[in-house]
Structures are given as C-alpha cells and as structure tokens.
A and B are shown apart, each in its own frame.
Chain A
C-alpha cells in the first residue's frame, strides 16, 4: 500500500505554538517534538538541499545539517534497492580534509592507529583517532594520495571535536618545525553511490577504467566532465564509491546519477539500516571516547608496524590490551520480539546483566531484528543464547557473527 504523506506535522507545530498541549504526544513519524517552533535557522545545507526537496526528501536535522532521512520509498524498500540496484546518498555533511607536507604522514601517525606510511599511494583504509587513554575520538577513512598528501573523511557529528584535536596537535608540530598543513575541503561535497549497479552506472559517466579500481583505492578523475576525487569505499557493505565533488558540480553529477533508472536516492534512514546489516560501527552509538579499538573489535586498525612502538595517543593502553586481552567485546545479535535499540540491557537467560546494546533495528533484508552491543566475556561466543530487554520484556537473542548480510566489496 502506498504510504500517504501528511500535513499533520505542520499543523501540530502551529498548534503547539499556542500552549504545551497534548498535541505534543500526537507526533507521528520519527520526529521528537521538543519545541513548538522550528528553530532551523542554524542548520547547514549541502549543495543538494533544493535537489532533495524537489525529489521528495523528508528533511530532518542531523549533526547541525538539514539532511534527508528518506525520499518517497520507505526505509525498507530503499535498503533493499541499494543491495539489488544502486542508491545515491548525499553525505556532504561529513568533513573532508587533507594533510600535506613532507611530515604529514609522521604527524598523522601520532594521532591514529593505522600504518599510514605503509599505505601504497592511492589506497586508503579505515582508522581511528585515539585519545590519551586509547579511547576512540572518531573513526575515519584515511587515504594516502601520495607520500606528502593524505586525504581524510571524518564524521559530521565529530567535525568540531576532530578539527580542534588535530589543530591543537598541528600547532605543536609546526612549533617543532614540522612541515605539515591542514586543508578543510568545505568547497567540496561528498556523494556515495552504493550497490551492485554502482560500477556500471558510474562507468557510463567516466573514461576512467573502474574495473581495475578496487576496494580501498583512490583516484582523481572526471565524472561528467567534473574533476572528482573518488574512493572505492562506502558504509553499506556493498560495492560502491564515495565521490568528492566541487560544490559547483554536485547538482550536475547528482542529476546525472538519478537519471539512470538503476539509481534511486536514499537518505539517512536506509543508510543506518545498511551499515548495521553490514556490521559497521556508528560513532556515538557503537564507538565512543571511552571505548578502545580493541574492545570495539577494531584491533585490525592498529597497523602491524605500529605495534612495534605504539607511538600514537593512548598507545600504551592499546599495547597492554593487545597483550592482556579485554573483558568486553562488540558482537552482533539476532533477537525475537520487539527490536532492541541503543541502551537495551543484555542479560543471561536468568537475568544477570552482561552488556548493553549500542545499535539495533529491524533488518529490511533479513526481516529479523539485528543489533550490535558490548558483552562481557565469555558470553561473546557466537551462538551464545542471551536476552535483550526491551520495554521490560526479556526477549530471546543469540550472539551472531557480523556482518549480518554478506559484504560484496570489489576486490577484482
């Protein structure tokens, strides 16, 4: 049945302006009315704001930006479309930046766990910025463009925090005479094209041979005549590309992509379902300042070469955790009953609390409840039966290996 769209919300917002009425409770949909009026004047807009509105995007505030949570398709349909065709996401709210200079690699290695020096030119990887206690400040995809040029993308919600953190250390580095400069790419926007049809769709728009362009690689080439920086990566578990595009070219490329019948627009709603199905972490839910990459199951981000000196913030703690192990672990769950959400307790079958859910939702592709959370060892073994407590009810669940949906990264 086609979903109907409503004017209920604007009407309620107006009525709320009068008094705090029970109308506050009459909210449909995913919006939590805390104030009677729209205070959106401070929300940032990407270059595609009008494009989203014109294409039926439902705009919501996210990390200080006005972003589409979905378009005409339901979140379920949108998620499935991505895995069967191709979906286009505006992710320009994320922050792209570059570190350049002959000491850029050394500088960055002081702040992240990855072996940046060891990356081949034109390749990248997921890494994490750590704090003094080895906790995660943010996760990021770091690409070594060349020996003196590193390109990074960080989360929108962590932008201020990350830039302040990097900036502080940059000042200290420069004071010591290091040659490193930071450039923030606010003149560029980011689009993500994801799904099995992403490659054939994009190939029609560029001369660059995508068949030899594998997962994790980076290159600069023209798309529809617009010079882009492209990484073969994404946040869905599917094959796909993240396109860094000058703001002036965003609409051209977005319009060209949606003109292809294989491509549909997708918003933040399906983006979250997709990443959870792929077992990928969301900072603020599954990763936090007090969680180390070892606890988060991201020990692989600590490069092998980095395990000689552990010369990054919090290195000592990470070294100790790798040596001694950690008492908790991030695992996946499939559960019965109502979907578990962030902060649901995880208990043993007899009710002892042994962990907490950090992300959960109904999986559109699996048609089951999936969740991610941290659990005390030894309950972390796949197949362990536990309970997830949702609204006072302890629902049966089983520890499940992730990804929940098989990934299809393009490795040639």
Chain B
C-alpha cells in the first residue's frame, strides 16, 4: 500500500521527525494471522486452491484511519505482482494497493462499495478486496509468512 497522492489539503509534505514518531506513537499490536502470506507493502494473500484472496493487513488499516472509499478492478482484469490493483481512500488521503500475486480477478468484494469501513473493522475477513486466479503459484513463496511480516512491521 502506498500513499499515492497527498490529499491533505493544506500541503503537508515531508515526514514527521523520527524521534517524534517514536515518542508519540505507541507500540504496534496489530493482528497478524498465521495462515496468511504478506507483502512488505502490507497486503495479504490467502491461498484457496488455485485462487488467492487479497486484502490489506490490520497494520495497514490502522495506519490509514477510517476508510471511506475503495476502488477495485473489474472482474476479469489482470493483476500483476507488485503493481497497483486499486486504491483505498481515507478521509484525507488516497493510497495505492499493490497486488501480492499475479493472475486474473475472478471476484471482487461488492460489500465494500456500500461499507468501505469493513476494511477497518475486519481487514482479514469481511474487508477482503479481490479474489485472484493465480497465474504463478510460485509467487506465494516470495511473500512473507506471518512472523516475518510481524518482524517487518515492528523492528
């Protein structure tokens, strides 16, 4: 997931000082599910046979804040590992979501049209985004397992 466009309207730029971030933000205790695979960009993939379900992690939804809109690809579209497949919008900013795997979109989560906040309340279940028919199941091996992802998030 990445901040694609800086929608904060009064021109916030650059980043907060590291020391201040460390001081002002607490320790992360975001949920990481052991049965999923994760990308460093905070998306997860759940293999289900030759299909993978994709969404963003609890970590990511926490960072974003309240999700107000989710833009997803059409069914039938091709997604490519490492490339954007959609956008998640919070009150103040739009963030790209990157596909952790390549393949064809076979289903999208229509519930997110009316209830984008499911991404916040249930990032691994009701907040799933797309289901992809894998074109290269080997790519799953490139993803992080839950402990590696947890380490990636916390160190």
CB atoms of A5 and B28 under 8 A apart: yes
Asked if A30 is at the interface (CB within 8 A of a chain B CB), the reply is yes
B10, B14, B29, B93: the one within 8 Å of A4 (CB): B29
Given contacts A4-B59, A10-B18, A38-B19, contact A76 B66 (CB under 8 A): yes
CB atoms of B15 and A9 under 8 A apart: yes
Give the size range of B's interface with the partner: 35 or more
Given contacts A33-B15, A268-B10, contact A58 B25 (CB under 8 A): yes
Given contacts A27-B2, A269-B91, contact A66 B20 (CB under 8 A): yes
CB atoms of B15 and A75 under 8 A apart: no
CB atoms of B15 and A38 under 8 A apart: yes
A285 and B91 CA atoms in complex are apart in Å by: 17
Given contacts A9-B21, A13-B18, A362-B91, contact A3 B3 (CB under 8 A): no
B9, B28, B62: the one within 8 Å of A359 (CB): B9
Q: Digit string of A246-277 for contact with B (CB within 8 Å is 1, else 0)?
A: 00000000000000000000001100110010
CB atoms of A5 and B121 under 8 A apart: no
A208 and B30 CA atoms in complex are apart in Å by: 48
How many residues on the A side are at the interface (Cβ–Cβ under 8 A)? 67
Given contacts A10-B21, A53-B23, A391-B87, contact A26 B12 (CB under 8 A): no
A7, A14, A33: the one within 8 Å of B28 (CB): A7
Asked if A209 is at the interface (CB within 8 A of a chain B CB), the reply is no
CB atoms of B92 and A269 under 8 A apart: yes
A6, A43, A361: the one within 8 Å of B25 (CB): A6
Given contacts A28-B63, A75-B66, contact A341 B94 (CB under 8 A): yes
Given contacts A5-B25, A7-B28, A53-B23, contact A31 B12 (CB under 8 A): yes
CB B51 to nearest CB in A, in angstroms, measures 26
Asked if B148 is at the interface (CB within 8 A of a chain A CB), the reply is no
CB A366 to nearest CB in B, in angstroms, measures 11
CB-CB under 8 A from B95, the residues of chain A are 28
Given contacts A32-B14, A59-B16, contact A1 B120 (CB under 8 A): yes
Given contacts A33-B15, A40-B17, A391-B71, contact A26 B1 (CB under 8 A): yes
Asked if B112 is at the interface (CB within 8 A of a chain A CB), the reply is no
Q: Please report which residues of chain B, range 84-115, place their CB below 8 angstroms from some CB of chain A when the two chains form the complex.
A: 87, 89-96, 98
Asked if A320 is at the interface (CB within 8 A of a chain B CB), the reply is no
List residues of A whose CB falls within 8 A of some B CB. 1, 3-11, 13-14, 22-23, 25-35, 37-40, 43, 52-53, 56-63, 66, 69-70, 74-76, 157, 268-269, 272-273, 276, 282, 284-285, 337-339, 341-342, 359-362, 364, 369, 391
List residues of B whose CB falls within 8 A of some A CB. 1-3, 5-31, 40-42, 58-66, 68-69, 71, 87, 89-96, 98, 120-122, 152-155
